[in-house]
Structure 1
Amino acid sequence: MAAFGHTFPFYADPKPTFPMDTTLSVIITIFLTALVTFIIILPGIRGKTRLFWLLRVVTSLFIGAVILAVNFSSEWSVGQVSTNTSYKAFSSERISANVGLQVGLGGVNITLTGIPVHQLNETINYNEEFTWHLGGNYAEEYTKALEKGLPDPVLYLAEKFTPRSPCGLYNQYRLAGHYSSAMLWVAFLCWLLANVMLSMPVLIYGGHMLLAAGIFQLLALLFFSMATSFSAHCPLRLGTAVLRTHHGPAFWITLTTGLLCVLLGLVMVVAHRMQPHRLKAFFNQSAEDLTLKWSPEEGELLSPRYRFMAESPEPQDIPLSETSSEVCCKEKHPKDSDCAL
């Protein structure tokens, strides 16, 4: 393009960006809607059960929302720097801007915001995403970015994560993101099973599933930490500054939720051994084991019923007819002549 009138590569007007990731917005909206629904029906619950029920619902929804949201978050490893750097290829113009890098389980997100935003007769506000999950071709997306003529800082950071980059960041983060995402999906499944079991008289298994959900979340953090520990040998230089990354909010909130699940699971296991009656009372379950009773009238399978002597009906005197009374009398007193009278 520079061959025609010395025109610098351009990029179309920045797309209007939503202030939050749309996937995370949908997840948060769904769980908030569920929370509001449970709060609406809260006045229908009486006594202390209302407080216990609200605590269980809020805790469970928080854990489920976190496990699902961090799987799609791009803030596992973040970094930001203010620098004075070049803006476009074939141009000596430099800009002052904030450059941000966000690494998630499925790709990287690069932001470029001018200080001020309007410089060189342009609006410098870019937010570009490059993905590698679900069969995405990162190299192809990078090639398209080159064809668009994205700013130099964006292309420089995106090039560091290409498969052919000598930094090797692509293979590290891609594998770590793949296994971390798998662990989080297993943790989400354990959370679902825990909710099902805690609503049934099998609280100990619900505690085990909650403990497993926390362990799988911690395993996801372990896989991702292994990738970041090997990425410190590739400095990211932008103009006069160096961009350094650190664990982001998604990493820390996953750590908090994982430890919370492990703690709650251990508490339930200990409470089941030490105070099973209080544990059942907390989950609004009767302390006594209930025995199911079926009756033929209900169309269920027949099962034997056993009753104690106290529950047996008292014997009743049933009058006999004259013929049957005479037969009975003769059997008991064969020589008595009064039986025929």
Structure 2
Amino acid sequence: MTLWNGVLPFYPQPRHAVGINVPQLIVIVVFLALAASFLLILPGIRGHSRWFWLVRVLLSLFIGAEIVAVQFSAEWSVSAVSTDTSYKAFSAERVRAHVGLLVGLGGVNITLTGTPVQQLNETIDYNERFSWRFGQSYAAAYVQALAKGLPDPVLYLAEKFTPSSPCGLHRQYRLAGHYASATLWVAFCFWLLANALLAMPVPLYGGLALLITGAFALFSVFAFASISSAPLCPLRLGPAALTPRYGAAFWLTLATGILCLLLGGAVVGFHYLRPRALRIFLDQSVKDCGSQAKGGSPLVLSNPLHQKLGASDLTISTNL
């Protein structure tokens, strides 16, 4: 420690918390650009179908953006507390700080903000991320944090999620994140398929694809909830304890899954009960949807030769 004149090897310059999740921001910007592009061409759509298209496209973009954005969100499980805690290793000095723990599908974010920020002649404002996605080592990231000399509260919480910790939080949340992420990507694929099918004269299959989208979105929620509901070891910082709870990404995914189920059920129900109203909402002509002949029903064809012959109907049975 003589190189630092007795000062522990903390950051040579103050670190400030990063409040922007770049991958999540990119996803939101891309979908907002798609929505803005649609709004620019919306005045070119005439009649009442303009509002039907507005509702359809904006709802669809919201569902797609939510499914992708929550993949990169750190707010599946959140907890925060304000407490008096130790700040440096091998030091009796304590600080008043707000500590936050954000667990996502791909890792954990730990924030430490002093109240006030300036204490002990330092700026106490940290936001550290430790990832367990495929190809990334959580243990290596923790070793790097030790080498940096991060504050005690950050290292304490990060240590609880290491693979060697007796708490078992790493395996618990890592499995939850992997299963939830996989089912969300499947939901995104079915969302793309539902959009393609609803643009064709096959609304029934589009509604079924929406139902499957909602089912897989709910599977991701249930996977995260069931795996992360095991007993947790206590996370204490000074006299206070961190109590994890489900965050905004969890509840938003749950709401999106229910929304997809409702929309898919509505499409399937209207297909059988009010097919004409469904065709009007989807801006499909009666001729397109009416050409979906059932087994045994006749298919009526008309052509110029038929009109010249003066025949009234030319019927070809589909039973042949």
TM-score w.r.t. length of structure 1? 0.84
AA of the residue aligned to 1:243? L
Paired residue for 1:234? 233
How does 1:1-341 map onto structure 2 within 5 Å?
A: 1=1, 5-15=5-15, 17-230=17-230, 232-289=231-288, 311-313=307-309
8 Å Cα contact 1:8-1:91 kept in structure 2: no
One-letter code of the match for 1:78?
V
- Are the equivalent residues in 2 in contact too, given 1:75–1:102 (CA < 8 A)? yes
2:8–2:149 CA contact under 8 A, matched in 1? no
For residues 75-128 of structure 1, give each alpha carbon's deviation from its aligned partner in whole angstroms, at most 9, with x where no partner exists. Answer: 000000000000010211100000000000000000000000010111000000
Helix, strand or coil for the counterpart of 1:35? helix
C-alpha spacing 1:274/1:308, structure 2 compared with 1 (3 Å): farther
Change (3 A) 1:91 1:111: same
Separation in 1, partners of 2:37, 2:213: 25
SS of 2:228's equivalent in the other structure is: helix
RMSD after superposition: 2.0
Aligned residue number for residue 302 of structure 1? none
- 1:320 corresponds to: none
Change (3 A) 1:312 1:250: same
Partner AA of 2:170 in structure 1: Y
Q: Tell me by how many angstroms 1:172 deviates.
A: 0.7
CA contact (8 A) 2:23 2:72 kept: yes
Task: Label 1:148 to 1:288 Cα distance change in 2 as closer, same or farther (>3 A).
Answer: same
Q: Give, as a single letter, the amino acid of the residue that structure 1 aligns with 2:19.
A: P
- 1:313 Cα deviation (Å)? 3.7
Gaps of 5+ in 2: 292-300, 312-320
Matched to 1:43, the amino acid is P
Partner of 1:312, secondary structure, is helix
TM-score, with length taken from structure 2: 0.90
Whether the 8 Å contact between 1:110 and 1:157 is mirrored in structure 2 is: yes
Q: 1:295 maps to which residue?
A: none
Letter in 2 for 1:50: R
AA of the residue aligned to 1:269: V
Amino acid at match of 1:248: G
> Would you say how many aligned residue pairs link Structure 1 and Structure 2?
302
Query: Which digits, 9 at most, give the CA deviation of each residue in 1:199-246, with x for residues without a partner?
Result: 11111111111110100010001110012211x430100011001110
Task: Give the letter for the 2:43 counterpart.
Answer: P
Q: Is the 8 A contact 1:2 1:90 kept in 2?
A: no
Tell me how far apart the structure 2 counterparts of residues 4 and 282 of structure 1 sit (CA, whole Å).
Answer: 71
2:267 alignment partner AA: M
Instruction: Sort the Cα spacing of 1:314 and 1:159 in 2 relative to 1 into closer, same or farther, 3 A.
Output: closer
Which 4+ runs in 1 deviate beyond 4 A? 15-18, 305-310
Q: CA shift at 1:7, angstroms?
A: 1.9
**Do the aligned residues in 2 keep the contact of 1:160 with 1:167 (CA within 8 Å)?**
yes
Q: 1:3, 1:283 → 2: CA distance?
A: 72
